[in-house]
A and B are shown apart, each in its own frame.
Chain A
């Protein structure tokens, strides 16, 4: 860890989180947290409920403002940027509860996330051209929703909504993809399909995944970070972390 910390400011890392702290009315949900994510790495964050996992993602994507500390994405400080600027920098985020645009169709949901025409007049004169349509189709195919393109999004099943949200991220083509419990609430078949999907999409980008399912974690993780009470409890390969007595005590034990 120390060797890594020394590298702090010079970063070959895609993401460098250092000393990140946020306190809600004195309660430190994330407490002096530091970690680094490499190019094309899949990092999984695990930890008991309330450990602060979601809050870390909130801090990285600008949803919550940090009390102190820094988040550098490709050497760019994110903590001072607004949410949409962070998205433009190349960070995409999937929320814990599927959050999609329920009044719009699947097609429109995906199209809205296509990275073009993001300012007011760009959006007003946005043209649904062949490029957009083929990209939307391509992504819909990946997320198993190509037959649902014209359906209103609120009519989808829970699992389909999760996929749609993943699709909305894919079409943004982020360099860093953050997924908060992507298989939560899914049936066994859906879980398998999702694991398959994640394996395909995580090839050419860095990914942070929050997940509870240890089998799933072991399958996909390059590195695992275990959080507890806003701090890092352990870090390393899935194998190593699984055997750590502290981790077993606070998390895997139950």
Chain B
């Protein structure tokens, strides 16, 4: 791996961007907010995982998925199932007619733990399931669609249908899934109280750390030849085949990566909010996730994080005061951004701030030696003509 130096992977603007985000998330936010607000902020960050994945799928690969909620949900549910089983020990559930199973099962007159719940007694299995189940599911969807060259709008509609189906399934199978309320009342993780302030701080930092892992993976992908193949595919899919690449495999790959990121985000949601419900799986949340990405800038992985934060903050304040208007506002925001700022916040930054920052960096002694060439990247929206 020594071939892949920092310099090849990041321009100095990228380095600065990562540093600023790290300081914001690791220092400024924890110092300026109480733990309740910080946990809420951590929830916003759990959506940033999805948005970063969408930058890869949609921004780079041109694959618009309107069903990322599916993977977010699968990741979130995998962890919630583990935590729920831990919370449903026979002692805790002694008053149930069948002690030792989750309460909602008991209410639905289920007397035995369903087979697919069994493995979630294992922490290791559950952690692996968070990553593997959504990724495999994405692989099958991707394989079935992309090998047949289904793409564009058709693919978007199919992903929507899948998220609708999964929501209906979860809500309909109340006894097995917790139904519309989801899986709630989670208490401990390996015997450790997850409701303490201390735990909330730990989870917030875990969430930020994992977000940075995803950001680095995404950065690595976008700067690799694979990233450039995706850019090429977005415009000239047919041509890429004649450069000797099996286009479907590349699409399947980024779709799987996007799914895995979303799943980690879902698990981070469960961990911080202590529940998971079908309201994060369906069509509306899935579309919201695309909006986070669009607002941040489809081509900017850091922009996606800010997009998720900004839209969620707006949703919290605006949505709390005018809940019935929020969906319209969101729609208007999406259309407005697409028309006025097709490259989102990142595009605005590139156009108005980046030149100044660059001049500043030229003078900064630390960055002077790190003379990455910021004009070289194919991914930046450099066509600001």
Contacts and interface: CB of A to CB of B under 8 A. Distances in A.
Contacts of B244: 84, 87-88, 113, 115, 118, 172
B249 A105 contact: no
Interface string A119-161: 1100111111100000000000000000000101000000000
A124 B3 contact: no
A102 B235 contact: yes
A63 interface: yes
Contacts of A88: 244
Contact of B231 (A100, A104, A115, A120): A104
A125 B225 CA distance: 8
A108 B228 contact: yes
Contact of A99 (B8, B236, B250): B236
* Max count, chain A CB within 10 A of own CB: residue among B225, B246, B249, B383: B225
Nearest to B243: A113
A99 to B, nearest CB: 5
A124 B221 contact: yes
A84 B250 contact: no
Contact of B224 (A100, A124, A129): A124
Contact of B242 (A93, A111, A123, A152): A93
B226 A120 contact: yes
B322 interface: no
A83 B241 contact: yes
B280 to A, nearest CB: 30
A61 interface: yes
A12 interface: no
Contacts of A115: 244
Interface residues of A, number: 37
A150 B90 CA distance: 67
A168 interface: yes
Contact of B243 (A63, A102, A127, A172): A172
Given A108-B378, A124-B224, A126-B224, A118 B245 contact: yes
Interface in B187-238: 220-221, 224-226, 228-229, 231-232, 234-236, 238
A146 B64 CA distance: 37
A127 B382 contact: no
Nearest to A168: B243
Nearest to A125: B224
Nearest to B221: A124
Contacts of A127: 3-4
A84 B239 contact: no
Contacts of B378: 103-105, 108
Contacts, number: 93
Nearest to B226: A123
Contact of A103 (B231, B241, B253, B376): B231
B236 A84 contact: no
A172 B245 CA distance: 12
A103 B221 contact: no
Interface in B244-265: 244-247, 249-250, 253
B243 A120 contact: no
B225 A123 contact: yes
Contacts of B228: 101, 104, 108, 111-112
A2 B232 CA distance: 45
Contacts of A113: 243-244
A93 B240 CA distance: 12
A105 to B, nearest CB: 7
* Max count, chain A CB within 10 A of own CB: residue among B229, B238, B242, B376: B242
B187 to A, nearest CB: 41
A119 B243 contact: no
Contact of A104 (B221, B232, B250): B232
Given A103-B231, A108-B228, A120-B250, A84 B376 contact: no
Given A99-B236, A99-B239, A101-B235, A112 B246 contact: no
Nearest to B147: A82
* Max count, chain B CB within 10 A of own CB: residue among A93, A101, A111, A124: A101
B30 to A, nearest CB: 34
Contacts of A19: none
Interface in B361-385: 376, 378, 382-383
Interface in A88-116: 88, 92-93, 95, 99-105, 108, 111-113, 115
13 contacts: A84-B241, A84-B242, A84-B244, A84-B245, A84-B247, A92-B242, A101-B239, A103-B234, A111-B225, A113-B243, A117-B225, A120-B253, A128-B225
Given A63-B242, A104-B378, 7 more contacts: A82-B246, A83-B241, A84-B242, A105-B378, A111-B228, A126-B225, A128-B8
